[in-house]
């Protein structure tokens, strides 16, 4: 990427849902499919949603206490004001999804696939996307204690106005990753920064880390 070129932004389209059916179920099992449904303040607590499909759904203020979401697929779906002390969602698939103001403690999303996803607002203590495939994703105005992107393959990711404690990109592959306007205190994996765009202020903060990585002594 040329020094003065801007990264290509994520390709995102608004999600428009209509004629949704209210879902009042109290039992949820693995492998079910929910299509065109609205869940309002649904407690998925303790449910096994392994390999479940949510297609063109709206989930308003759901809770996921001790919920198993491994392999669950979300398509053309809005997830708003969700709460989970531990979000057990490894190997999930997210395509055309909007996530607003999530409150997740430890989000176990490793080995997952993300395509055309927005995360707006919220607070995440630990977001584990290790070894995931991430394409066209934007995370805005979010507080993240630790964001683990180690080993991930990432294309067109924008972090906008986020506050991140530790950003880990060790062995990640980056293309058009926009880190400008985001504040992070610690960066692990400076050797994997190729393909990212940072601003002058971030460069100043990273200078000691880059010098140490290259074996440069500043005297």
Q: Nearest 5°: CA angle at 160, between 123 and 209?
A: 90
Strands (E) located in 36-172: 37-40, 53-55, 58-60, 73-80, 83-88, 93-100, 103-108, 113-120, 123-128, 133-140, 143-148, 153-160, 163-168
The model's confidence at residue 4, banded by pLDDT at 50, 70 and 90, is: low
Q: Which of 145-149, 162-166, 167-171, 187-191 has the lowest mean pLDDT?
A: 187-191
pLDDT tens-place string over residues 165-180: 999 999 999 999 999 9
pLDDT digits (tens, 9 = 90+) for 5-49: 688 999 998 999 999 999 988 789 899 999 999 999 999 999 999
0.85 surpassed by pTM: yes
Q: Are strands 58-60 and 83-88 parallel, antiparallel or unpaired?
A: unpaired
Task: Report in angstroms the alpha-carbon separations of 179 from 58, 63, 65, 107, 193.
Answer: 30, 30, 32, 21, 10
Cβ neighbour number for residue 63 with a 10 Å cutoff: 16
Cβ distance 169 to 192 under 8 Å? yes
């Amino acid at each position: 990427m040329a020094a003065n070129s801007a990264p290509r932004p994520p390709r995102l389209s608004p999600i428009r849902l209509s004629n949704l059916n209210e879902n009042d179920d109290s039992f949820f099992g693995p492998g079910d499919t929910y299509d065109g449904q609205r869940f309002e303040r649904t407690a998925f607590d303790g449910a096994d949603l392994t390999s479940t499909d949510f297609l063109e759904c709206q989930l308003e203020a759901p809770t996921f206490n001790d919920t198993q979401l491994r392999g669950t697929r979300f398509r053309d779906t809005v997830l708003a004001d969700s709460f989970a002390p531990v979000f057990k969602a490894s190997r999930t698939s997210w395509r055309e999804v909007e996530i607003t103001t999530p409150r997740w403690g430890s989000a176990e999303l490793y080995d997952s696939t993300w395509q055309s996803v927005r995360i707006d607002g919220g607070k995440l203590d630990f977001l584990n996307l290790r070894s995931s495939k991430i394409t066209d994703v934007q995370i805005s105005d979010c507080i993240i204690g630790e964001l683990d992107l180690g080993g991930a393959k990432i294309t067109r990711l924008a972090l906008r106005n986020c506050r991140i404690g530790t950003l880990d990109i060790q062995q990640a592959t980056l293309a058009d990753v926009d880190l400008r306007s985001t504040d992070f205190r610690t960066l692990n994996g400076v050797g994997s920064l190729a393909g990212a765009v940072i601003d002058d202020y971030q460069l100043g903060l990273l200078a000691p880390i880059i010098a140490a990585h290259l074996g440069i002594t500043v005297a």
